[in-house]
Amino acid sequence: MNEYIITSTNINQLAGELLNEGYNVVAEAEDGTAFIAVAAGSNVILNPFGKPTNLSPKQYIFPKTETLFYYKKSQTDVEIIDPTGLGHKTVIFGTKPCDSAANKILAKVFNWDYKDEFFNKRVENTVVIGLKCGYRDAQCFCTSVGLSPESGEGSDVFLTPLENGDYLAQTITEKGAKFVEEHKKMFDAISADKNKPVPMPEAPAKKFDAAKVKVWLDSNFENEFWDGLGDLCLGCAQCAYVCPTCHCFDIVDENFDYTSGRRVKNWDCCQFTMFTKHASGHNPRSVQSDRFRQRVNHKFKYYPDRFDMILCTGCGRCSRGCGVGMDISEIVQAIDNLK
Amino acid sequence: MAQLVETAKELLKSGKVSYIIGYTAHGDNGTKPFIARTEADAEKLVFNHHCVNNLSVYINKADIPENGNIGIIAKGCDIRTITMLVQENQIKREHIYIIGVNCNGQVKDIGMNWEKENVAQKCALCEVRTPALYDVLVGDLEDFEKPEPTTMQLIQQIEAMTPKERWAYWQEQFDKCIKCYACRQACPLCYCDQCIVDKNEPQWIETSPTSRGNLSWNIIRALHQSGRCVGCGECSRVCPMGIPIGILNVKMNMISMRDFGFKPGMNINESTLVGSYNFTEKENFIR
């Protein structure tokens, strides 16, 4: 790991240079709703003490909608045309540790039996410039899922805000080191009188013991705890779509006309009634509580079973954004408190 | 709020209702929807400036017990949706026991402090602080500082745009949409068993959150609400992408008021706008 200093001015300069080099440059939007493309000449927003954006930056690795291929039918043949622009070189600035950590978790499922080239290409071509996090609220629980607001896990380059307004830049991966090497003139060497890091608030207190929760989940698929849990859930997909780790998708064909169209992969969500509805009309998850049980189990049991990782980074977005105050950390905490 | 809790306990005890949909305290500074089934549950009911949710959304989602009625704690604006649900034959009036509350303003979103700049937009022009319909009324009216009507200002700004600019404005807004359908799920008047976007034989609307698919969804949602939406603002509030979708409905209600003198959910004995016709109605579109 190498350490450098990068000034705010140089971060903006770097963004400009990257745009000239043909990169997509992505950072927080001014209104805090999402990560968006940085336009030429505008500044990169780094927000170490601000609330996480409503939508996680997941969409740059796993877009909300993605064309798998285009098709053209003739009387005797079908022509398949690959989409263009896949895996365009991208740099994401300012992802908090709870976002940066998500890509490694997602990589497990996207490389399980089938290697998803769309996902892998995007990851391969994306440089994550992570940022130390100084934001705390009642919904934060990164420490309960084994992460930390000061962790560089998942970042290629990790930034720590310094008291003079500059940032300490640490290279975490080889990709990060190579990226810094290629843009060396934007990074200054660390000097002896290097500035102090801005003090960070204490990490969020641990809300639950995920290992203990998993033991309970292992043998309590049927339990009165689940009854009525989803009574007040409205069954929208806010929680899944803002989540950095939720990864369900739906594949549909969209016809442009009688002879051509595209096959497309769109985000989908286990909280929708339609998600598990069979063609016969039967729905194995017939009530919202069944669907909410799935959400908890997928994150805290099935994924750990399959990949030895919790499918949650504790960013708290799902709870912060829930219109009816459903809070997954409270629910998992309640499970932890059951015995 | 002792009066509310006592009323709720009495209703549950007497068996007049099988449960009550209300609010309970949640977090440092907020409430969340809550179902009180017992007198002990009723102790946890609250009503204050943080009771943002329009709970009437749960009426259609709940299974109405055959031998019991639903109790609901509702603000004047929420009761307008209950009125609509009765008028549109989605519920029977006698199955709903309305605990109306005199409302002294609400914050924009859950957990916000009660300050002038955080007061919900719908409170700026509210005419139903004392509900138009209820079975029992609790609470007292108190004055509060009304917020700047920024929603109306935004509507005026958009009205002043050229059609091209307006198109560009909404394209930019709808492009943000991720099709989580929080707007649909939070809306008490979006009650179709199967929403048109979920119909796939034939597929009327693209499911993809692309510019075209998003435009189709958002415009259809807005049009299905014209002359019906009561302006509770839940759609805009729950939108994670901050799209001001609710103002489309506000604008359409301005038109239904202008052309038909109709305001949804104000009078339970009146016919609905889309469900009725009379000869004095303007037909400006046929010329």
Q: Could you give the 3-state DSSP secondary structure of residue A193?
A: coil
Q: Given A31, A237, A325, which is nearest B110 (Cβ)?
A: A325
- pLDDT at residue number A5: 95
Q: Given A236, A264, A274, which is nearest B180 (Cβ)?
A: A236
Percentage of chain A lying above the pLDDT 90 cut: 94
Q: pLDDT digit string (tens) for B77-131? A: 999 999 999 999 999 999 999 999 999 999 999 889 999 999 999 999 899 999 9
Report the distance separating Cα A303 and Cα A289, nearest Å.
20
Interchain contact A281–B (C-beta under 8 A): no
- pLDDT at residue number B66: 63
Interface mutation target, options A31, A258, A319, A324, chain B, most CBs of B under 10 Å: A324
Mean pLDDT for all residues in chain B: 92
Q: Given B27, B181, B237, which is nearest A236 (Cβ)?
A: B181
pTM higher than 0.90 = yes
Closest by Cα among A257, A263, A259 to A74 = A259
Percentage of chain B lying above the pLDDT 90 cut: 79
B29 band by pLDDT with thresholds 50, 70 and 90: confident
Q: pLDDT digit string (tens) for B176-204? A: 999 999 999 999 999 998 899 998 888 88
Interface mutation target, options B53, B56, B112, B180, chain A, most CBs of A under 10 Å: B180
- Across the range A281-290, mean pLDDT stands at 94
Q: Which residues of B touch A54 (CB under 8 A)?
A: 240-242
- Across the range B213-228, mean pLDDT stands at 93
Q: pLDDT digit string (tens) for A34-47? A: 999 999 999 999 99
Q: pLDDT digit string (tens) for B53-68? A: 999 999 987 766 666 7
Find the residue in B nearest to A326 (Cα). Answer: B32
- Across the range A268-272, mean pLDDT stands at 96
Q: pLDDT digit string (tens) for B3-20? A: 999 999 999 999 999 999
ipTM of the complex in this document: 0.93
- pLDDT at residue number B283: 72
Mean pLDDT for all residues in chain A: 95
> Quick check: B287 pLDDT over 60?
no
> Quick check: B279 pLDDT over 90?
no
CB–CB contact A254 B110 (8 Å): no
Q: pLDDT digit string (tens) for A155-168? A: 999 999 999 999 99
Closest by Cα among A64, A121, A57 to A265 = A64
Q: pLDDT digit string (tens) for B203-216? A: 888 889 999 899 99
Cα B279 → chain centroid: 30
- pLDDT at residue number A127: 98
Q: Given B176, B180, B213, which is nearest A237 (Cβ)?
A: B180
- pLDDT at residue number A192: 65
Q: Residue with structure tokens 């204490």?
A: A202
- pLDDT at residue number B111: 84
Interchain contact A79–B (C-beta under 8 A): no
A190-194, B59-63, B98-102, B158-162, range with the lowest pLDDT:
A190-194
Interchain contact A286–B (C-beta under 8 A): no
**Of residues B29 and B81, more confidently modeled:** B81
A320-329, B175-184, B271-280, range with the lowest pLDDT:
B271-280
- pLDDT at residue number B286: 62
- Across the range A167-184, mean pLDDT stands at 96
Closest by Cα among A256, A188, A143 to A4 = A188
CA distance A166 to chain B (A): 31
